Amino acid sequence: MRTSLLALILAAPLWSQPATPQADLFAAVRFLVGEWQGEGNGKPGQSTGIATFRFDLEDKVLVRHAHADSAPTSGKPAFHHEDQMTMFAEGGQLKALYLDNENHVIRYLVAAVPEGVAFTSEPGPGPRFRLTYLRKAEGVVTVRFEFAPPGKPEAFTTYLEAVTRKVK
């Protein structure tokens, strides 16, 4: 009985200790919360689009819904694109799952970079992708999408780039 009481007395301070504050894994992406409107050009042609970023599930995930429309160019028809990306914490790392209307599924690791945040897919047998958001001014962000060919996982080439402005 004495040993149990002594163990209880010694353990009591551990129960009363405040919880260790957890790092905010969403800190690098919080600047994206809101609605963004963009215009840009690149290999697919001139396009316009909207992206919204909103926290969901009691602020446990950040969800991006986006769509873009490209005008017809050089014999290519107009194009409509929709996607959803869900950012979540797993194993102490911010990750993201990207899905779109073209049947693409991309799993990203998310990391802060100077002036913004980068979503980089893990190396695999196919191409590798990187989506970067860079703050240029208050309410202005450059979005860059790059890919690296199979067998060259660090040889990223810009596929498209756009400037977006926060509208809400």
In a domain, 68, yes or no: yes
**What is the maximum span of the chain, computed from C-alpha positions, in angstroms?**
87
Q: Residue 51 is part of a domain; what is its CATH number?
A: 2.40.128.20
Domain count, the chain: 1
**Distance spanning both ends of the chain, measured CA to CA:** 64
Q: What's 28's DSSP letter? A: G
In a domain, 10, yes or no: no
Taking only the tens place, the pLDDT of each residue in 27-69 is 999 999 999 998 665 555 577 889 999 999 999 999 999 998 8
In a domain, 4, yes or no: no
Domain boundaries, position 111: 23-166
* 158 strand-pairing partners: 146
In a domain, 8, yes or no: no
| Residue pair 122/111 in contact by the 8 Å Cβ criterion | no
In a domain, 13, yes or no: no
Q: Phi then psi for 39, rounded to 5 degrees?
A: -140, 140
In a domain, 2, yes or no: no
Q: H or E element: which one contains 105?
A: strand 105-113
Structure tokens at 108: 């990203």
pTM: 0.80
Confidence check: pLDDT of 98 > 80: yes
Confidence check: pLDDT of 18 > 60: no
Structure tokens at 10: 């010694």
pLDDT band at 74 (very low <50, low <70, confident <90, very high): confident
Q: How many Å apart are CA 23 and CA 46, to the nearest integer? A: 40
Q: How many Å apart are CA 88 and CA 27, to the nearest integer? A: 12
In a domain, 17, yes or no: no
Q: Phi then psi for 128, rounded to 5 degrees?
A: -115, 145
